[in-house]
């Protein structure tokens, strides 16, 4: 009965500073505009006529139209769909077509532009809570630049109701492998600045070789599977807001050993997706524990959190217990008043 109305919710963790994938390159051709929602903000992705990907805040400084719905790229500029004001690709107002006297905004930067890198067939945006410049670079993955040796990427993404750290932390959570994935692995980790490397050797399955998983900041990861038919998995986790993330996975398979039959490739891709989908129901329904009671075998989770903290400006806060107010309504008014005050932040 107590558990029914003592409803614990996840804390709103700060978004970790870092590079995050926001689209795949082929989603946006030159001249196109795409609305995005990430980091709790409305954004717009555009590709100029010269082919450069740009990300701007979505709302026009004039009367607030969303550039992602009807905005038009002309050359290296974007034109607002509402009154036709024109802005450069880094957010400077360059023209107000109907103004006889240009307003003071003309010639000034008035839209926030976000640092963008295009690499690994993806478009990445740098997020920093206080607007600081990128502290590290997106890692280029050599397999993606060798199409003769590696198959075309197969991309898939899921929108999941959880926080970004929950997805990334799963890589370091050794004890979940048996209950959730029905397998076992010997796992070791190294942490080095913005990077971490996880070495996993599947237990008792020597033909399934070592898996090396790399993280470069909070948003970019990749795994090399040294198996009979080697394959590579790119994994990107990007927060939409404090309650949802996009988990984006790409798979490419070695063309070596003359074994790139479609059925084998499809089987590998299915296995990767299946493993992800075994985790997703857990992510969707869990809360984030800021100070979990870890045992010795969970030690890598603590190591991971210490490493991840370098990307967060604020320390994670303890869970604030809150009431499911509809249930509490059954209780007496004075008791409700007392508890609500205690539960308020």
Binding residues vs ligand FES (CB under 6 A): 60, 62-65, 80, 82-83, 85
CB of 278 to Fe ion, least distance (A): 6
The entry of ligand FES, Fe ion, none near residue 65 (CB within 5 to 8 angstroms by kind) is ligand FES
CB of 109 to ligand FES, least distance (A): 16
The entry of Fe ion, ligand FES, none near residue 62 (CB within 5 to 8 angstroms by kind) is ligand FES
**Nearer Cβ to ligand FES (65/92):** 65
CB of 48 to ligand FES, least distance (A): 19
**Nearer Cβ to ligand FES (71/250):** 71
Using rule CB under 5 A, residue 170 touches Fe ion: yes
**Nearer Cβ to ligand FES (37/66):** 66
Among 19-27, 28-36, 91-99, 166-174, the segment contacting Fe ion (CB under 5 A): 166-174
**Nearer Cβ to Fe ion (48/170):** 170
Among 279, 301, 316, 323, binds Fe ion (CB under 5 A): 279
**Nearer Cβ to ligand FES (46/60):** 60
Q: In what order do the strands lie in the sheet with 77-79?
A: 72-74, 77-79, 86-88, 93-95
CB of 267 to Fe ion, least distance (A): 19
**Nearer Cβ to ligand FES (43/80):** 80
The entry of Fe ion, ligand FES, none near residue 279 (CB within 5 to 8 angstroms by kind) is Fe ion
Name the site residues for Fe ion (rule: CB under 5 A): 170, 279
């Amino acid at each position: 009965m107590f558990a029914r109305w003592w409803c614990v919710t996840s804390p709103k963790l700060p978004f970790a500073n870092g590079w995050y994938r926001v689209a795949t390159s082929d989603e946006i051709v030159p001249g196109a505009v795409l609305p995005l929602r990430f980091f709790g903000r409305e954004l717009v992705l555009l590709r100029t006529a010269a082919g450069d990907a740009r990300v701007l805040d979505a709302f026009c400084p004039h009367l607030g139209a969303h550039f992602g719905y009807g905005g038009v790229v002309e050359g290296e500029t974007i034109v607002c769909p509402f009154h036709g004001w024109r802005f450069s690709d880094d957010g400077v107002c360059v023209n107000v077509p109907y103004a006889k006297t240009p307003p003071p905004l003309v010639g000034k930067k008035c839209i926030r532009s976000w640092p963008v890198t295009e690499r690994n067939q993806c478009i990445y945006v740098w997020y920093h809570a206080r607007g600081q410049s990128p502290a590290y670079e997106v890692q280029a993955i050599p397999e993606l630049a060798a199409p003769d040796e590696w198959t075309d990427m197969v991309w898939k993404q899921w929108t999941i109701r959880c926080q970004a750290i929950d997805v990334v932390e799963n890589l370091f959570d050794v004890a979940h492998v048996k209950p959730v994935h029905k397998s076992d692995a010997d796992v070791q980790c190294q942490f080095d600045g913005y990077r971490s490397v996880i070495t996993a050797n599947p237990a008792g399955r020597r033909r399934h070789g070592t898996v090396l998983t790399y993280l470069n900041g909070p948003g970019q990861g990749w795994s090399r599977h040294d198996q009979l038919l080697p394959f590579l998995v790119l994994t990107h986790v990007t927060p939409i807001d404090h309650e949802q993330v996009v988990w984006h996975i790409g798979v490419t398979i070695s063309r070596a050993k003359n074994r790139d039959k479609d059925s084998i490739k499809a089987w590998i891709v299915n296995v990767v997706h299946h493993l992800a989908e075994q985790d997703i129901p857990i992510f969707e329904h869990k809360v984030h524990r800021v100070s979990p009671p870890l045992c010795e075998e969970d030690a890598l989770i603590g190591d991971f959190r210490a490493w991840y903290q370098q990307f967060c400006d604020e320390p994670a806060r303890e869970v604030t217990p809150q009431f499911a107010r509809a249930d509490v309504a059954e209780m007496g008014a004075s008791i409700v008043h007392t508890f609500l005050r205690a539960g308020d932040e």
